[in-house]
Amino acid sequence: MTASAIGAVVTAAGPLLFGVVIDKGIVPGKTDVVIAVAAALLGLALLDALTQFFQARLSAQIGEGLVYDLRTLVFRHVQAQPLAFFTRSQTGSLVSRLNTDVIGAQQAITVLMAETVNTVLTLVLVLAAMFYLSWQLSLVALLMVPFFLIPGKIIGRRMQRLARGTMQLNAEMGSLMNERFNVGGAMLNKLFGRPEREVAHFSERARGVRDIGVQTNVTAQMLGIVMGLTASVTLALLFGVGGLLVIDDAFALGTLVSLVTLVGRLYTPIQQLSSVQANAMTALVSFDRVFEILDLDALVKERPGATSLRTGPTAHGTTAPEVEFDKVSFRYPRAADVSLASLESTARPAEEREDDAWVLDEVSFRAPAGKLTALVGRSGAGKTTITHLMPRFYDPVAGAVRIGGQDLRDVTLGSLQDTVGVVTQDAHLFHDTIRHNLLYARPDATEPELVEACEAAQIWTHIAALPNGLDTVVGDRGYRLSGGEKQRLALARLLLKAPPVVVLDEATAHLDSESEAAIQRALKTALAGRTSVVIAHRLSTIREADQILVVDGGRIRERGTHESLLTAGDLYADLYHTQFARQPAAAKATAPDPAGTAS
């Protein structure tokens, strides 16, 4: 504010000194006045330069600080969104919000606000100086002000529409590149894609960005052209009227020079105000897009006063709690509640029908503490949804999920994360080193603990043979490793975390029989005494489960052991004969420990 005020004073004082040096120094031939005024002008120039430096530095600090705060706020808020948000949103569009749109919001706050304050102060002081010299010419100059402001408003609205379109098109192009340039997309492209078709697809998106960019630049230039023309007309009028007044001895030549200079400095801030108006309308688009994200309410939140999930110490470090589903009903949230159409690009039709079918219908069961519970059923029965409710990816619509007798909605998210460990069939690894992928589960783990976890998961021999060992980069999503190697790293990560409750989607499915047997032996001790809930795809798992739950149509249709359910001859018997009975005889003969098969 102080820097803006000093800059405005310098802007208004300079033209007044021009009149003084002409009328009081040059015309009467007073050398001392000319030197004094020249020195004053030099001092004002130095002061103005110093002021601009501090103003630029302060503006940069505020702007970058705002970008940091906004990005951190949006990142934290996005992390709190339910899993459905990420399954619907395009990654490229989401990343665009944290980059392009946040920077646009920063410009709205810093550059535009700084320009507005400086411009208004300059405008007030310049007008005061003009009326002091000649109210007649000042009124002539003011009559032209609407011709500056009206075009700014009209063009600003068009710039706003173009800015929104530009951001959306850039986000879509970024999403396309993100999908094609990751390893999975590149592999799919090489297997099924055609290079020319892919180039044409990208070219279409890039063409849209190009065309709207041309429109934006032409529209922005139009504002400058209109304002430049208006300023030239105004100066012509002032020179005509002012020149006649000087000839008639109404005021001195220096006064006319000062007025014309002041008018030039009057219209500069007016032009800036028009530009600020247009830029502000454009920047509001960035604000809208950023706050679209921040206005999304996280469906899974930690309640005020939430307590830690209690687990007691044992020889293994924790007490395995019981897991209970009490009349749990669930259906996936509507798209409008978890995502934004602008983040899905063309993925959500304008009149998309919502699927409001119940995925789970009054599901009730208990997974005994320290025992293995297997979930079996046909595809789409609701097995994965059950496992997603345990780490609280979602909350049930009705009923309650409890661990150790505590409703998951009443416990802290941090303690729940410490209690429940999950390994999926498709293990995800970050594009980082093996060490950092393991430490993601437990940042304070020591080197010997990392080695011990890797040995238990039967992956250490392979890691030790690598040139960089634990510091080997695994590549995008771990694609530099085989499926079995990725899975064993995921198991090592789970062992490092050592949670009392384990959720597994048949985590040994990617392994050969020899590796699977080795890991089952390793997990026999590691998972002993832990509560395990497994989506079972292998006969070896379900044969040794302490409890089998048969899921069908979102309900628990049967429960019991392998032998008792076969004897009953109902749905499980049908599943056994269609899905499991044809598995290799070795699998039937194998009788691994429940804890081992849970892996």
CATH number of 2-294: 1.20.1560.10
Compute and round to an integer the Cα radius of gyration of the chain. 36
Structure tokens at 61: 């600090």
Q: What was the pLDDT predicted at 495?
A: 85
Q: What was the pLDDT predicted at 255?
A: 72
- Distance of alpha carbon 59 from alpha carbon 261, whole angstroms: 28
Strand partners, 323: 367, 403
| Backbone CA torsion sign across 331, 335, 336, 338 | positive
Cα–Cα–Cα angle for 423, 427, 432, nearest 5°?
A: 120
Q: What was the pLDDT predicted at 589?
A: 40
Q: What was the pLDDT predicted at 213?
A: 85
Q: What is residue 347's DSSP assignment?
A: G
Q: What was the pLDDT predicted at 363?
A: 93
- Alpha helices (H) along 248-340: 253-294, 335-338
Collapse the DSSP code of 401 into the 3-class scheme (helix H, G, I; strand E, B; otherwise coil) and give the result.
Answer: strand
Q: What was the pLDDT predicted at 375?
A: 93
CATH architecture designation of domain 323-341+356-421+500-597: 3-Layer(aba) Sandwich (3.40)
Residue 89 neighbours by CB under 8 Å, 6+ apart: 339, 340, 343, 344
Over the chain (599 residues), what is each successive 10-residue block's mean pLDDT?
60 65 73 79 79 74 77 84 81 76 68 63 74 74 73 75 79 75 66 74 84 84 76 75 73 72 70 64 74 83 88 54 94 81 60 68 92 89 92 92 93 90 83 90 91 86 90 84 82 87 74 64 65 82 86 92 89 82 49 35
Up-side HSE of residue 501: CA atoms within 13 Å toward CB?
24
Structure tokens at 431: 């594009």
Q: What was the pLDDT predicted at 276?
A: 63
How many angstroms separate the first and last alpha carbons of the chain?
Answer: 64
Domain boundaries, the chain: 2-294, 323-341+356-421+500-597
